[in-house]
Chains A and B, each alone.
Chain A
Amino acid sequence: MNADLAALYQSVILDHNRRPRNFRALDHATRGEGHNPLCGDRLTVFVRIANGVVEEAAFQGFGCAIATASASMMTESVTRRAVADACALAARVEALLSAEGDGAGDDLGSLAALAGVRQFPLRVTCATLPWHAFAIACRGLGIGD
């Protein structure tokens, strides 16, 4: 496999794609829809928030390996975070995926694996899709930007 592909489809990405975490609907949760009209990918992100903290996050839908892995890792990384903190994390992931994101992956843990998408400009929206859906869910609660 060529080096760019190996960086895009790192084992952590492939693992989250094959066995997405928190891949289910949540009752009593707010939801945010992510839709990429270019490819038809559609994800619903569910968040349950109490006292300003994300108690639980989950997702459902259909997306490519990048969107699915990004969503799966996101649900793990925002859970038990303060909402403001989770929104800040979303912004950092966004920066990581942008061309200027060098170094933005430091201390992001497994989320740093998403940086491989930078060599594939057409696929950046796949990685950001669940994070946008998360932001929409938070905005639905009047939280976040």
Chain B
Amino acid sequence: MSSGPRPPLAAPELDPAAVRRDFPALQQPVHGRPLVYLDNAATTQKPAAVIDRLARYYREENANVHRGVHALSDRATESYEHARQVVGRFLNARDAREIVFVRGATEAINLVACAYGRPQLGPADHVVVSAMEHHSNIVPWQAVCAERGARLAVIPISDAGEIDLDAFATLLTDRTRIVSVTHVSNALGTINPIAEIVRLARRAGSAVLVDGAQAAAHMPVDVQDLGCDFYVCSGHKMLGPTGIGVLYGRLPLLEAMPPYQHGGDMITSVRFEGTDYQRPPHRFEAGTPHIAGAIGLAAAIDYVSSLGLDRIAGHERALADCATEALTRLPGVRVVGRPAKRAGIVSFVMDGVHPHDLGTVLDREGVAIRAGHHCCQPLMDRLGLPATARASFACYNTLAEVDALIAALCTAREVFG
């Protein structure tokens, strides 16, 4: 037997101090204090690799895609389609044609609601969402249900902030056409049991959309493993640019769906008598797409992949656990939602202090959090709260920043007594 050093049993933990050096925006003071950015569920900061990639695209490659006969158009097209491959591999899609570039998760859900939901839904049919959905995963379904005379059913959640799977099972009928649930709650941090939800929905013959806005780039995502039909995410919450997002759809479903928007780039031939549409994904990408955005998103994916998604998930979870524990110890502070499986998001309230006031005091201490209903008014109603304060973590946050959050909350307590 060799007496040399044994290889490590697990990958080394993330070194957030090293990671944060990659993020120019984190290097600035705010109100004279070091910036403690804990509003990552709203949007993440961008690494230099993404910012530089955007700049390089505009400096060296800028041209329209899929139509030029010149060198720059070739380069832009190649980079844009390469980005599709990168996203496809990242989500473990079977085929890059299953990746449609959109503006964000909101547009992706609207696309599915219109191009899949509208033709599928008739009177007496159901769409099922959960009580913890973001408005963007409620309102598009409400609209299409109203139009088609279908019903929107809601999966109840427990006080801990977890989906009630038994209640879900009883909601499912042979009229359930679509189940649309979030992978991770943006307000509570709950990681939902997607594979189990998909299994139950499948048995009822329903399609499943998963809102991955808070999961993608924060934990490994494998759409084949999850088994869902659609998966949506937003680039700007994945260390990527704003204005770019992803719809993953299983190819047979995309093939059967009509276009969502009409225009250039999504057609094969246009005559005044009629138009032939492209096949997916281009059928769903009318007009000049956000080329730079897609390329920048691919750079973000390369970046998080280099850190390791398991390590990122472990790091963010550790920060959230630490924050939850420290918040619980603060007198008059209550953590909202106690899911057994939590991502890097923690919501809380402080007795006698409105979350908005907390947000303002914390901001002056350099700590950026979100305060409000988090675009989840039905969830807030369910919890009996008008608003919460929310800290959400990313790969570049540190334990010292959790301490800074707690210290700032103590300042708020002093201000409001």
Contacts of A1 in B (CB 8 A): 411, 414-415
- Report yes or no: B415 in contact with A5, Cβ–Cβ below 8 A: yes
* Nearest CB of chain A from residue B35's CB, rounded to whole Å: 15
* Interface residue from A14, A39, A40, A42 paired with B416 (Cβ < 8 Å): A14
| Contact yes or no, B372 A38, CB < 8 A | yes
Please tell me which one of the listed residues B360, B372, B411 contacts residue A120 in the complex, with CB atoms under 8 A apart: B360
Whether, in the assembled complex, B56 has its beta carbon less than 8 Å from a beta carbon of chain A, the answer is: no
Nearest chain-B residue to A120 (Cβ)? B360
A68 nearest in chain B by CB position? B354
Name A123's closest neighbour in chain B (CB-CB): B360
Which parts of A1-25 form the interface with B (CB within 8 Å)?
A: 1-2, 4-5, 8-9, 14, 17-18
A68 to B32, CA, bound (A): 29
Q: Are A65 and B364 in contact (CB under 8 A)?
A: no
Q: Which residues 350-401 of B have a CB within 8 angstroms of A?
A: 352-357, 360-361, 364, 371-373, 377, 380, 386-387
Out of B364, B373, B387, name the residue touching A4 (CB < 8 Å). B364
Query: Contacts of B414 on A, CB cut-off 8 Å?
Result: 1
Q: Is the CB of A5 within 8 A of B364?
A: yes
Query: Which residue of chain B has the shortest Cβ distance to A65 in the bound complex?
Result: B357
Contact with B along A45-65 (1 / 0, CB 8 A): 000000000000000001111
Q: Are B417 and A18 in contact (CB under 8 A)?
A: yes
Task: For the complex, count residues of A whose C-beta is within 8 A of B.
Answer: 23
Is B329 close to A, CB under 8 A? no
Please give the distance in Å from B9's CB to the nearest CB on chain A.
47
Given contacts A2-B31, A123-B356, contact A39 B364 (CB under 8 A): no
For residue A66, give the distance in angstroms from its CB to the closest CB of chain B.
7
Q: Which of B360, B361, B373 has the most CB of A within 10 A?
A: B360
Say yes or no: is A73 at the interface (Cβ < 8 Å to chain B). Answer: no
Interchain CB contact under 8 A, A8 and B360: yes
Q: How far is the CB of A114 from chain B (nearest CB, A)?
A: 14
A126–B411 alpha-carbon span in the complex (Å): 22
In contact, B360 and A40 (Cβ under 8 angstroms): no
Inter-chain contacts of A38 with B (CB < 8 A): 372
Question: Cα distance A14–B356 when bound, in Å?
Answer: 14
A42 to B387, CA, bound (A): 11
**Interface pairs (21), CB distance under 8 Å:** A2-B364, A5-B360, A5-B364, A14-B415, A14-B416, A17-B416, A18-B417, A38-B372, A39-B371, A39-B372, A40-B377, A40-B387, A41-B387, A42-B386, A64-B357, A65-B354, A65-B416, A68-B354, A123-B356, A123-B360, A126-B356
Task: Report which B residues bind A (CB closer than 8 A).
Answer: 31-32, 352-357, 360-361, 364, 371-373, 377, 380, 386-387, 411, 414-417
5 more A-B contacts (CB under 8 A) besides A5-B415, A66-B356?
A5-B361, A9-B357, A39-B387, A41-B356, A64-B357
Across the A-B interface, give the 3 residue pairs with the lowest CB-CB distance, nearest first: A64-B354, A64-B356, A40-B373
